[in-house]
Structure 1
Amino acid sequence: MKKTLKRPELLAPAGTLEKLKTAIHYGADAVYIGGDAYGLRSRAGNFSFEEMAEGVEFAHSHNAKVYVAANMVTHENDQIGAGEFFRTLRDIGIDAVIVSDPALMQICAMDAPGLEIHLSTQQSAVNYETLNFWQEAGLTRCVLGREVSMEEVVEIRAKTDVEIEAFIHGAMCISYSGRCTLSNHMADRDANRGGCCQSCRWKYGLFDLPALGDKEMVGKGEEGIDEPFSMSAVDLSMIQHIPDIVESGIDSLKIEGRMKSIHYVSTVVNVYRKALDSYIEDPENYVLQEDWVDELWKVAQRELATGFYYGIPTENEQLFGERRRKPRYKFIGQVLAYDEETKIATIQQRNLFKVGDKIEFYGPGMRHHPEELEEMWNEEGETIRSAPHAMQIVTMKVSQPVKPQDMIRKSLERTRRKIAQK
């Protein structure tokens, strides 16, 4: 008898309306966005109410959901206007808000009844008693703290019936979720009110002070070069542990990255969509495909590890020294149209590319095909050798059919070989 598994929601970041549509087009079941207030990504492309309404209409027409992160910690007077904010979200059709501050939860429940409230990871919920508490307070979902282990996830699932959301890919905070004040001290920017300057990612000199007044630099290389240190964690990736993630009973699998590009969002969503569907459709014969892992390395990101899921991270999960693996591709454009008769694709440029580049087209469902760019034309039909201008529209002949919203990368291997030869 075939094993029946619950299909978890795949939840993607959407820093802009374009990213929202991209995430859903590439397979996300839901997206989370930020508004103009109460969020923790002040530098992300946060949504106006009009953009939210358009995003909700698009998402719902594709059977997807939209959540709004309103997870800041409020100080006195920060909550002024919150009731109207939440009512507007409810009336727009937002499916839920993600909140960490009990004051905002209370305001939302009182002023916008009917709008679901999810607990933010900023609350560091890592045990089932905590989840049961928040469920009794009226919350329908809890986002687990990133410090939870897989063993703890299984126990939490067994002892609570509130929905569970957990991160499976993206950046890891070096502090406990929602507890960092490093940015406050280093740059007078409040991390818990949307102003984090990511001072943990800065490079530092590390000193050993064995006695008062001594200053001996730790980490000097063989030639006396000072090694910069940081408190920076590598990124989380659970692509190699899809069976454990699905079997644990997590309801929503969350990808971090509202400030990442459409290249990043489309690639990561594409990979996890394929892996999840493959496992759920045939768990007994599921095999991790190495090209899924390789695909993740075609986008810019830090080193990857499994966070706290299988034990406490060690020095191997910190960023310092030479990178062990580097992205091999650069995002260069998006397909706007394709003519089947002429096999001509219309492309919107996003980064420089030129004749002779080895490029790769990809689309939803892990569709891929390589090309070597031999010829292209500008909007006037003139032959050109390069496309250097941002958002430039060009056309090119392709060997295989492509679709609107397919993405294009170019290989960096040739560039790296040239640098190495020098």
Structure 2
Amino acid sequence: MELLAPAGNMDKLKAALLYGADAVYLGGKSFGLRAFSDNFSPEEMEAAIAYAHERGKRVYVTVNIFPHHRDLPGLPAYLRQLRDFHADAVLVADPGIFGMARETVPDLPIHISTQANTTNWAAVKFWYEQGASRVVMAREVGLSDIKEIHDRVPVELEGFVHGAMCISYSGRCLLSNYFTQNRDSNRGQCVQCCRFKYNIVEETRPGEYFPVVEDERGTYIFNSKDLCMLPYLPDMYQAGLHSLKIEGRMKSIHYVATVVKVYRQAMDAYVADPEHFSVRSEWIEELEKISHRPYTRGFAVSRPTEADQVYSHSCNTQTHEFIGVVQEYDAARQMVWVEQRNHFKVGQEVEFLQPRGETVRLRLPRLVTADGTEVEAARHPQERIGIPCLQPLEAQSLMRRRVREK
């Protein structure tokens, strides 16, 4: 089974592949559903695909907007460009884009995006007969239905395993369009109105706002919990999924690296010994360290209930924060060199999440700048800081600390 990770920019792509993803999905500056992600220029995309292929990994490019007439003239040239860059597939939701891709670049594999709302075997069969090589299941499809689809249609199936959930049906939402001007959520510009605070206004009393729940903070009636399918990993294998997809092109490097590593370890453990597989407590702890909302299993085994929403707040929670990236380890001096990403100081307890090795914990004994000057704190963004460390650390390990450790 493939582990598929988000890549909002080149740094996140490198982190995803380094920490264990088999493939990444990314978007260009146009035609994708994450307009507020960094995304990739043509030059960056060509370099990203080459980088992944050199490491035996795959890259899928999102072309999954619902286009208007004005979007179509530039599409054939863009599709030919993706073919020339050797993209491994494009993700498509709109039948018009699908037909144009089949005509313009017939050899470029097409994956049907979750935006297409594919929820039954007949729809999957339709896309397969049109030439799709993979169908991404709508989030509303349970594992038992996915198993039936797998048994009926000989096409690759992809399902979400972790990340944010949309309040609307597989992402088709008009709240953003309604509350803002020209911010179409189905063309990549959603402002996540489902995370806003809402009150009720009675028709004959305009201007009088009544809280939906008696709480001084108001209520967030559309705010979904985040998906976490780690406890159901064996069921996802048995359902016949070919690829497990992590949501989060707009999330941080810390999020991408942590989630990818957890699922990589879990998937490897399951494949090695399916009969005795169990979810390790340290995997759950890792997923609590990243920024997230409370977790839910979504539609996987039953319909969601009122408990799958977060009514009291829209803020994420996390136990740890990202503060640095390991550049190199100097074995002769037993010194790890870190690029600072957030303030840290002598005496703090930190830990290093390594791409392959175990997590290493360390109380900072002293800090040294690049010119050898000892300092009490690393205060300057992207400053190079040396930290005495007896244990060798892998390059690109992520340094973090507990949120309360200031």
| TM-score calculated relative to the size of structure 1 | 0.92
Q: Is residue 137 from structure 1 mapped to residue 130 from structure 2 by the alignment?
A: yes
Residue 366 of structure 1: how far off its partner (Å): 5.5
Distance 1:303 1:226 in 2: 18
Match of 2:87 in 1: 94
Match of 2:191 in 1: 197
Match of 2:110 in 1: 117
1:235-274 aligned at under 5 Å gives the runs 235-274=226-265
Matching residue within 135, 145, 157 for 1:152: 145
What stretches of structure 1 of length at least 5 have no aligned partner? 1-7, 416-422
Residue 320 of structure 1: how far off its partner (Å): 1.9
Tell me, yes or no, if the aligned pair for 2:196 and 2:314 is still in contact at 8 Å: no
Equivalent position SS for 1:77: helix
Match of 2:322 in 1: 331
C-alpha RMSD of the superposition: 1.7
Matching residue within 11, 24, 27 for 2:20: 27
Residue 130 of structure 1: how far off its partner (Å): 0.3
Equivalent position SS for 1:177: helix
Tell me, yes or no, if the aligned pair for 1:169 and 1:235 is still in contact at 8 Å: yes
Match of 1:364 in 2: 355
Matching residue within 307, 311, 314 for 1:320: 311
What stretches of structure 2 of length at least 5 have no aligned partner? none
Tell me, yes or no, if the aligned pair for 2:21 and 2:264 is still in contact at 8 Å: yes
Distance 2:229 2:253 in 1: 21
Q: Give deviations 1:293-351, integer Å, cap 9, x for gaps.
A: 11011111111110111211112111122699942111001111111121111111111
After the TM superposition, list the runs of 4 or more consecutive aligned residues in structure 1 that deviate by more than 6 angstroms: 322-325
The one-letter code of the counterpart of 1:305 is: T
Match of 1:342 in 2: 333
Residue 113 of structure 1: how far off its partner (Å): 2.3
Residue 226 of structure 1: how far off its partner (Å): 5.0
Tell me, yes or no, if the aligned pair for 1:343 and 1:401 is still in contact at 8 Å: yes
Aligned residues: 403
Tell me, yes or no, if the aligned pair for 1:13 and 1:265 is still in contact at 8 Å: yes
The one-letter code of the counterpart of 2:213 is: G
Distance 1:51 1:271 in 2: 28
Match of 2:179 in 1: 186
Tell me, yes or no, if the aligned pair for 2:217 and 2:313 is still in contact at 8 Å: no
The one-letter code of the counterpart of 2:57 is: A
The one-letter code of the counterpart of 2:142 is: S
Q: Is residue 275 from structure 1 mapped to residue 269 from structure 2 by the alignment?
A: no
Tell me, yes or no, if the aligned pair for 1:206 and 1:219 is still in contact at 8 Å: no
Tell me, yes or no, if the aligned pair for 2:109 and 2:132 is still in contact at 8 Å: yes
Equivalent position SS for 1:367: coil
Residue 195 of structure 1: how far off its partner (Å): 1.2
Tell me, yes or no, if the aligned pair for 1:146 and 1:177 is still in contact at 8 Å: yes
Match of 2:300 in 1: 309
Q: Give deviations 1:361-401, integer Å, cap 9, x for gaps.
A: 11123521100011011121100111122111111111311
The one-letter code of the counterpart of 1:39 is: G
Equivalent position SS for 1:280: helix
The one-letter code of the counterpart of 2:29 is: D
Distance 2:329 2:104 in 1: 49
Match of 2:59 in 1: 66
Residue 212 of structure 1: how far off its partner (Å): 4.7
